[in-house]
């Protein structure tokens, strides 16, 4: 047991930053590794079998190199596919990110809820099981977005992304039926909260966008208490080690974006 936990936050790209920020708020004393498997991005377009093999292999290396005390899979596309295998393979707590269908349905007044994720996430049996178990009588509109994760990634890299491009991806989220309309949209891809201001501005009408990051952070913090206690009131966040599987160094634009998500002291490292 060490006094300071080491937390590995993993995503296919930069979407996990929205989760890392919340986890770092909940556990500011931890050491962090933020690992983006950008060499294999986007996960939403990968064949399931290949993705299982890939995530397992990358995780083998990350765990061996960085020895985390807890891993957050900050990616719905990976969590809904490989979480059970990862939990079986490693003697470590894994916190996954899966579509927040239960809280969305509990909060919806119109009972019309949209789940917006990658095309892969909305097809997964895991997602369909969550709907069967927790939709609680709500009508669920599943929207698989082919491009939104890539557009979010482009924005963080400083590229111009038009409102029309984003609007096209989210248009199917807004449904009117039986005199009611969608009031809750589950952000079932960690890249989407990166665009939250534009998602609000481009919505066909005001909806509540549900970002699971705070709940994930609470769960991660809770799991660390038995071994590490609670963080002290003056706890400071340590250096975040950044890992990009592509091996690229962050550009100045990306460095500024990382700082806006609370990653300002970084120690780049290979997998």
Binding residues (CB under 6 A) for ligand DGL: these are 11-13, 15, 41-44, 75-77, 118, 121, 149, 189-191
Q: Tokens 């994930």 identify what position?
A: 216
H or E stretch at 7: strand 6-11
Query: Which is nearer to ligand DGL, 112 or 151 (by Cβ)?
Result: 151
Q: Of 105, 138, 173, 189, which one is the catalytic site residue?
A: 189
Q: Minimum CB separation from ligand DGL for residue 177, in Å?
A: 27
Query: Which is nearer to ligand DGL, 5 or 13 (by Cβ)?
Result: 13
Q: Minimum CB separation from ligand DGL for residue 90, in Å?
A: 20
Q: Minimum CB separation from ligand DGL for residue 227, in Å?
A: 27
Instruction: With CA atoms as reference, report the closest residue to 258 among 266, 267, 268, 246.
Output: 266
Query: Which is nearer to ligand DGL, 32 or 192 (by Cβ)?
Result: 192
Query: Which is nearer to ligand DGL, 5 or 216 (by Cβ)?
Result: 216
Q: Residue 266 has what DSSP assignment? A: B
SS3 111: coil
| Residue 189 annotated as catalytic | yes
Query: Which is nearer to ligand DGL, 192 or 228 (by Cβ)?
Result: 192
| Residue 75 annotated as catalytic | yes
Catalogue the long-range contacts made by 260-267 (C-beta closer than 8 Å, 24 or more residues apart): 261/17, 261/18, 261/20, 261/21, 262/20, 262/21, 262/24, 262/237, 263/17, 263/20, 263/32, 263/34, 265/238, 265/239, 265/240, 266/239, 266/240, 266/241, 266/242, 267/239, 267/240, 267/241, 267/242
Q: Minimum CB separation from ligand DGL for residue 165, in Å?
A: 16
Instruction: With CA atoms as reference, report the closest residue to 73 among 116, 118, 125, 9.
Output: 9
Q: Minimum CB separation from ligand DGL for residue 58, in Å?
A: 13
Active site residues: 75, 189
């Amino acid at each position: 047991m060490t006094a300071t936990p080491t937390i590995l936050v993993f995503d296919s790209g930069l979407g996990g930053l929205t989760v890392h920020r919340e986890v770092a708020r909940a556990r500011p004393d931890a050491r962090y590794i933020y690992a983006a498997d950008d060499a294999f991005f986007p996960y939403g377009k990968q064949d399931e079998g290949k993705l299982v093999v890939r995530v397992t292999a990358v995780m083998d290396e990350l765990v061996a190199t960085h020895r985390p005390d807890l891993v957050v899979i900050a990616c719905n596309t990976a969590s809904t596919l490989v979480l059970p295998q990862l939990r079986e393979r490693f003697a470590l707590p894994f916190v996954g990110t899966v579509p927040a269908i239960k809280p969305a349905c509990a909060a919806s007044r119109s009972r019309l809820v949209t789940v917006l994720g990658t095309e892969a996430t909305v097809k997964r049996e895991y997602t369909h099981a969550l709907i069967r178990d927790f939709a609680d009588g709500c009508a669920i509109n599943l929207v698989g977005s082919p491009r939104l994760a890539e557009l979010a990634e482009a924005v963080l890299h400083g590229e111009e992304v038009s409102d029309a491009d984003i609007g096209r991806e989210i248009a199917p989220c807004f449904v009117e039926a039986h005199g009611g309309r969608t009031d809750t949209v589950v952000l079932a891809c960690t890249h989407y909260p990166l665009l939250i201001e534009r998602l609000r501005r481009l919505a066909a009408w005001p909806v509540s966008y549900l970002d699971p990051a705070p709940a994930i952070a609470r769960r991660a913090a809770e799991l660390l208490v038995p071994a590490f206690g609670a963080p002290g009131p003056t706890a400071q966040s340590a250096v975040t080690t950044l890992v990009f599987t592509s091996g690229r160094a962050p550009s100045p634009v990306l460095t500024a974006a990382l700082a806006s998500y609370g990653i300002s002291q970084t120690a780049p490292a290979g997998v």
